[in-house]
Amino acid sequence: MNIPGLEAGQAVYTTDEYGRPFIIVREQGRKTRTHGVDAVKKHIMVARAISSILRTSLGPRGLDKILVSPDGDITVTNDGATILGQMEVEHQIAKLMVELSKSQDDEIGDGTTGVVVLAGALLEQAESLIDRGIHPIRIADGFERACSIAVSELDRICDTVPFSQTDTDNLLISAMTSLGSKIVSKNQRQFAQMAVDAVLAVADLERRDVPFDLIKVLGKVGGALGDSTIVRGVIIDKDMSHPQMPREVHDAKIAILTCPFEPPRPKTKHKLDITSADEYRKLREYEHKTFEDMIKRVKDAGANLVMCQWGFDDEANHLLLQNELPAVRWVGGPEIELVAIATNGRIVPRFEDLTKEKLGHAGVVRELTFGTTRDKMLVVEDCANSRAVTVFVRGSNKMIIDEAKRALHDAMCVVRNLVVDNRIVYGGGAAEISCSIAVAKAADEIPTIEQYAMRAFAAALDAIPLALAENSGLPPIETLAEVKSRQVTEGNSRLGIDCSGKGENDMSKQHVKDPLISKRQQYLLATQLVRAVLKIDDVIVAGQADE
């Protein structure tokens, strides 16, 4: 209750119309909003909490998180975008951090943990500057200026890596760097090779374009990670519609149908009354004749295999077997499209439209069987369009397969980025240390107050190598000081944190490489988010007025 002149926390003693006493206290429950600098510091605290969750997952020795869904399903991962995407966050700034990792994942596909850790480090440095009385806008301006210097330094220290369809060593090394921190690290080279092969199979190197929709990643529980393979074609999680149909079809001419093997029905509500055996016999003959006519159209077109998006009943299935026409039913929409792309076939919506020119062509269609239960899948290989590929992932349980798929996606994104722009920087924190030195040096030449923000930006860049050292069991401050000192004295921007314990800090010798566009995007996105957070001094919830 609000009474004019009554301040928050004050109480008034009064009585009701019956003389019973009660106390009126000015409500304080809703007055939780903070304004100005206090609001900025509160937002920074939330962002730092999100960043600290991901900090321990950074690098090849980073730790995994277990995410439990409301249904009790568990996900074990160290992928930043997956962790944040499945977290239940309510605070507005926390949602901005989630969007930050998602935007990095959508645009680049890798580096989702690093961008959040960097944003958290920048906000932590900004908080100490705010405590010293520097206005948040001046801090944001200094961060923008420092970011442009850091990006310029990345362009200076980057190397160009040559590659071709036959020379893929550089692509393989970068993919292995991405997989070093994943659950598939024991099969690092195998998965990296699959990622490179899949991307180069669909890539147009002249246009520098990689259509990811031609790559399908499929998983099946029951084998080891080492049993994973890549197929130059399409794998469909279906089997032949009849157990007596052939298990292999060579020189397959595939009719790809989105119409069902059944008599046509009116598209309105209908009711059919059969009152005699003669009428039933006529209906049965009509259906039988319709099935035969459909099969005849397929055979006349020259098809020796049918893939149908819909199902068909036992009679149609039996007639297909009698006419020696193997068939697959209930093939999903995405799989139908992929088969059509891979085999250069056309999707046919009506039997009347089926012609020889619309058939898809494949060298062989064969069944794969798994385990004691003999689970079956179909493999379409040697397709007319060899650009479509399927990566088939095996694992001991669904959780491992899901994480292996995420790791493979990150590796394929790294290879895709190098196809688009084949410049690389060196990992292990080497690029961050070099940029930190460059920004700190530039700050000494700035006469305005932004120099403090630029030094803070340089200190925030050091958070990445510090986290890598800490997660690898090394003394973080001593390790960073030693590597940074060597970079300055030796002028070698390739020196980074030795996370693998090989006794070598030169990341070019350890073959730890990251795409330049991934690192640049991390800096730009993190700086943009930090600028946005620093400019927010109030949160107003719709429908709630300030008391």
Convert the pLDDT of each residue in 1-26 to its tens digit: 445 555 544 555 566 666 566 555 55
Q: Of 283 and 155, which is predicted with more confidence?
A: 155
CB 126 within 8 A of CB 534: yes
Question: What residues are labeled active site?
Answer: 79, 112-113, 410
User: Which amino acid type is present at position 101?
Assistant: S
Q: Averaged over 238-252, what is the pLDDT? A: 87
User: 233-385: same fold as 36-160+425-534?
Assistant: no
* pLDDT tens for each residue of 397-424: 888 898 899 889 988 998 898 888 888 8
* pLDDT tens for each residue of 326-366: 989 888 888 888 888 888 888 888 888 888 888 988 888 88
CB 538 within 8 A of CB 544: no
Domain map (residue ranges) of the chain: 1-31, 36-160+425-534, 233-385
Name every residue whose Cβ is closer than 8 Å to that of residue 48 and which is 6 or more positions away in sequence.
Answer: 120, 123, 124, 127
In angstroms, the CA 531 to CA 40 distance is 11
- Among 3.40.50.920, 1.10.510.10, 1.10.560.10, 3.30.950.10, name the CATH number for the domain at 36-160+425-534: 1.10.560.10
Confidence of residue 165 (pLDDT cuts 50, 70, 90): confident
Q: Is 460 helix (H, G, I), strand (E, B) or coil?
A: helix
First to last CA, the chain: 10
In angstroms, the CA 326 to CA 244 distance is 9
Is residue 263 packed enough to be buried (19+ CB in 10 Å), middle (13-18) or exposed (0-12)? Answer: middle
Q: Of 273 and 74, which is predicted with more confidence?
A: 74
Query: In 110-187, which residue ranges form alpha helices assigned H by DSSP?
Result: 112-131, 136-157, 169-179
Is residue 15 packed enough to be buried (19+ CB in 10 Å), middle (13-18) or exposed (0-12)? Answer: exposed
Identify the helix (H) or strand (E) that includes residue 234.
Answer: strand 233-236
In angstroms, the CA 269 to CA 87 distance is 47
Nearest to 480 by CA among 512, 502, 458, 453: 458
In angstroms, the CA 46 to CA 229 distance is 43
pTM: 0.79
* Topology classification of domain 233-385: GroEL (3.50.7)
Q: Of 273 and 79, which is predicted with more confidence?
A: 79
Nearest to 117 by CA among 501, 434, 468: 468
User: Is the per-residue pLDDT at 168 higher than 80?
Assistant: yes
Identify the helix (H) or strand (E) that includes residue 417.
Answer: helix 398-420
Q: Averaged over 425-438, what is the pLDDT? A: 91
Confidence of residue 141 (pLDDT cuts 50, 70, 90): very high
Q: Averaged over 35-47, what is the pLDDT? A: 79
In angstroms, the CA 521 to CA 338 distance is 32
In angstroms, the CA 146 to CA 439 distance is 6
CB 67 within 8 A of CB 74: yes
Confidence of residue 32 (pLDDT cuts 50, 70, 90): very low
User: For residues 452-466, b (16+ Cβ closer than 10 Å) or e, as one string?
Assistant: bbbbbbbbbbbbbbb
Give the pLDDT score at 212.
85
